[in-house]
Amino acid sequence: AQSVTQLDSHVSVSEGTPVLLRCNYSSSYSPSLFWYVQHPNKGLQLLLKYTSAATLVKGINGFEAEFKKSETSFHLTKPSAHMSDAAEYFCVVSVPNAGKSTFGDGTTLTVKP
């Protein structure tokens, strides 16, 4: 069985300050982990993925995430928020060679000018 918990439903930051979106996971196997972003009235876009090649994963638009097995976490960070980062972010876990993924409930990121 697998599950994912996004620890914050809403995060608000000022433009130019760091972003931290938290995600914890549970999996019986070595998981694959993903972050997706959904801008208003748009579909979900793959931001980055962890596939065991490296614990620090870089994604698009300056985002990165670090896989910490001991903490079962996969937090998403960005050094400096931009107004265009305002969106909903989903953390996703899947078991390799399994078809279905488990989505978190999402975190809404607000960026204040």
Closest CA to 60 of 40, 32, 89: 89
Give 24 or 94: the residue with its C-beta nearer to another protein: 94
CA atoms of 58 and 47, how far apart (whole Å): 9
CA 48 to chain centroid, in Å, comes to 8
Q: What does the buried/exposed string (b/e) look like for 34-73 if buried means 16 or more CB atoms within 10 Å of the residue's CB?
A: bbbbbeeeeebeebbbbeeeeeebebeeebbbebeeeebb
Candidates 16-24, 57-65, 70-78, 101-109; binding stretch for another protein (CB under 8 A): 101-109
Look up residue 74 and give its two tokens: 């996969």
Q: How far is the CB of 89 from another protein (least distance, A)?
A: 12
Q: Which residues in 35-74 contact another protein (CB under 8 A)?
A: 36, 42-46, 49, 51
Among 2, 5, 66, 103, binds another protein (CB under 8 A): 103
Which region, judged by CB under 8 A, interacts with another protein, from 21-29, 32-40, 59-67, 76-84?
32-40
Task: For the chain, report the end-to-end CA distance as a whole number of angstroms.
Answer: 41
The reply on whether position 94 binds another protein by CB under 8 A is yes
Q: Which is nearer to another protein, 7 or 44 (CB)?
A: 44
Which residues contact another protein (rule: CB under 8 A)? Answer: 32, 34, 36, 42-46, 49, 51, 90, 92, 94, 96-101, 103, 105-106
